[in-house]
Structure 1
Amino acid sequence: MSRLSPQEREALLFDLLDQLFDEKITTGALLKRLRREVLGMNQTRYAALASVSRRTLSAIENDSGTQSLGSLNRAFRPFGLSVGLLPRDRSTRQRLLTRSAS
């Protein structure tokens, strides 16, 4: 398991989500970093935890293939995340996220 404190894990999660929303990392890169840096798990262990196959997990992390919404949600569930719709336009997305935080 990771040696990060709960506060460090939360800070890393928020930092990575900010990077995702700013289009600096992909969804697959987000999942891979969370799996490794927050949980310290290999793909086999994490796939079992998330109830997806290792092959599906690998495809998600490499942003390849087409996974079902159910598979994506199972893959992100251990981090308290679900896949949802966000505006593609960055400024609209930022306005929405800023408005949600108020």
Structure 2
Amino acid sequence: MKTMTGVERKQLIDEIMQLHAEGESTLGMAIRRLRLEVTGLDQETFAQMCGMSTRALYQLETDKGNPTLNTVDSILRKFGLRMGLMAALPAIKRRVVAGQGSSVISRGSKPKRK
């Protein structure tokens, strides 16, 4: 694995985050890329570092497991990231959906009359 500068490492992490935020990669795919491309560690070593079994890490990376929020959060924190809330649709898709003639009603289906 090529040694990265701090700037290159940050750019790679930002790219992985962006792809996940846009829905282009799953959480498992993002964690796998972080493990491989940022740390270069094998599953066994990384799993030990995270305090989990290799099998649990494999299941998480292949989107087959059901990890706890604490598990995911502890993995992300190793990369300076944390879990948070985000829109179900990426911003660009929300604009397209909203622009297709649908109007947003602010008070449910029966807005207050004027």
For residues 66 and 6 of structure 1, the distance between their equivalents in structure 2, rounded to whole angstroms, comes to: 32
Offset at residue 86 of structure 1 (A): 1.5
Alpha carbon RMSD of aligned pairs, Å?
2.2
Superposed displacement of residue 72, structure 1: 1.1
Give the CA deviation at 1:89: 2.4
Q: Which residue identity is paired with 1:91?
A: A
Whose helix proportion is higher, 1 or 2? 1
Aligned to 1:28: 28
Alpha carbons 1:52, 1:75 under 8 Å: kept = no
Aligned-pair CA distance for 1:52? 1.8
Aligned pairs (5 A) from 1:24-63: 24-63=24-63
Q: Which residue identity lines up with residue 37 of structure 1 in the other structure? A: E
Structure 1 unaligned residues grouped into runs of 5+: 96-102
Counterpart in 2 of 1:11? 11
Q: Secondary structure at the match of 1:52?
A: coil
* TM-score with structure 1 setting the length: 0.81
Q: What's the CA shift for 1:18? A: 0.8
Identity %: 29
- State the one-letter code of the partner of 1:63: D
1:19-48 residue CA offsets vs partner (Å, 9 max, x unmatched): 111111111111111111111100111111
What number of residue pairs does the alignment pair up?
Answer: 95
Per-residue deviation at 1:2?
Answer: 5.2
CA separation in 1, counterparts of 2:83 and 2:43? 20
Q: Secondary structure at the match of 2:78?
A: helix
Residue 100 of structure 1 corresponds to none
Alpha carbons of structure 1 residues 3 and 20: separation in structure 2 relative to 1, 3 Å: same
Equivalent in the alignment of 1:85: 85
Q: Is the 8 A contact 1:20 1:30 kept in 2?
A: yes
Instruction: Judge conservation of contact 1:50–1:77 (CA < 8 Å) in 2.
Output: no
Q: What is the Cα deviation at residue 65 of structure 1?
A: 2.2
